Amino acid sequence: MRIAITGASGFTGLYVVEALTRAGLQPLPLEADLRDRRAIGRAIEASEFDCLIHLAARAFVSDQDWHAFYAVNQLGTFNLLDAVSRIRPGMRCILASSAQVYGTKAEGLITEAAPLHPANHYGLSKVAMEEGAKLWRDKLDIAITRPFNYTGVGQDSAYLIPKIVDHFKLRSKTIDLGNLWVQRDFGDVRAVADAYVGLATREELPETINLATGVVHSIEDIIAILTEITGHEIEIQVNPSFVRKNDVAILGGDVCRLRQTLTEWEPIDLRDTLTWMLNEHKATAF
């Protein structure tokens, strides 16, 4: 079984390629500028595959270049779906959206049926992608994933968990953070990759599915776990510029649908993820 992947060289894509190979499947990186309709068409025509996993996106939510979110996440996905529907009609396409589509009005463990209230351009571009993808459902077998936060070795230190891990690896005296009390769902990229493999090989899929752990931790919890593992204590300085006003206290993903779809899939405990990152994540200087 040949699985085409956009974003195969990205953080998530590298782990999905590895997981597919380990499962005896053949990953096929699909490299083309999503904004270039002709280039995408040529890439699809030149590739023989049985399923598409679409991971490529403009992802970092603090990026101020909001035009790129729509050019890549929304219109780029439409270009991709249009090409696949013309050249490979009926193909299964698994599209990576984001839990950012739920926004900050929901609280607790959110189900796929929750209203969508994106709070930034990244989330809004993913909502637009999801809505637009419906126009191709009559020609393609489309399933949309909504991943919650996940991390692992190789993730950019601009993201929260790698930043904290790097500070512990460097045994820094202080670290600047925002709200410490908020509780979020933090997954492991290896488990996320395994989930994509499972979704690619299942006979039937729901239209949307959360990729989450169903367990929430606060930033204080993460600091406590890392302190226990390393024996290093770090002084936390709350930086007002990192504090989000009206932040939701508890925000995680309901995984009932995920567990019903992938009965053998299991998340990875956060402590195991942090230990892995401490042992292998390359620290950067501050």
Q: pLDDT per residue over 166-219, tens digit each?
A: 999 999 999 999 888 899 999 999 999 999 999 999 999 999 999 999 999 999
Q: pLDDT per residue over 65-76, tens digit each?
A: 788 899 999 999
Residue pair 222/79 in contact (Cβ under 8 Å)? The answer is no
237 torsion bin: left (phi>0), alpha (psi -120 to 50), beta (else): beta
Distances (CA, A) of 124 to 73, 112, 198: 10, 16, 27
Domain limits of the chain?
2-151+188-212+252-267
**Best CA proximity match to 238, nearest among 157, 179, 172:** 179
CA dist., res. 2 & res. 29, Å (int):
10
- Supply the pLDDT for residue 282: 46
Q: Which uninterrupted H or E stretch holds 30?
A: none
Q: Which uninterrupted H or E stretch holds 58?
A: none
Task: Please give the structure tokens belonging to residue 145.
Answer: 């994933």
Contacts of 20 (CB under 8 A, 6+ apart): 3, 5, 26, 27, 197, 200
| Domain 2-151+188-212+252-267 = CATH 1.25.10.10 | no
pTM of structure: 0.94
Question: Per-residue confidence at 62, pLDDT binned at 50, 70, 90?
Answer: low
- Supply the pLDDT for residue 98: 97
**How many Cα atoms sit within 13 Å of 98 on the Cβ side?**
28
**Best CA proximity match to 69, nearest among 128, 135, 113, 132:** 128
> Do β-strands 141-147 and 92-96 pair in parallel, antiparallel, or remain unpaired?
parallel
Looking at the chain, the whole-number percentage of residues with pLDDT higher than 90 is 85
Question: Per-residue confidence at 61, pLDDT binned at 50, 70, 90?
Answer: low
- Supply the pLDDT for residue 63: 56
Q: Say which of 15, 102, 122, 196 is annotated catalytic.
A: 122
Average pLDDT over all residues of the chain: 93
Q: pLDDT per residue over 22-36, tens digit each?
A: 999 999 999 999 999
Q: pLDDT per residue over 108-160, tens digit each?
A: 999 999 999 998 899 999 999 999 999 999 999 999 999 999 999 999 998 99
**Residue 122 among the catalytic residues:** yes
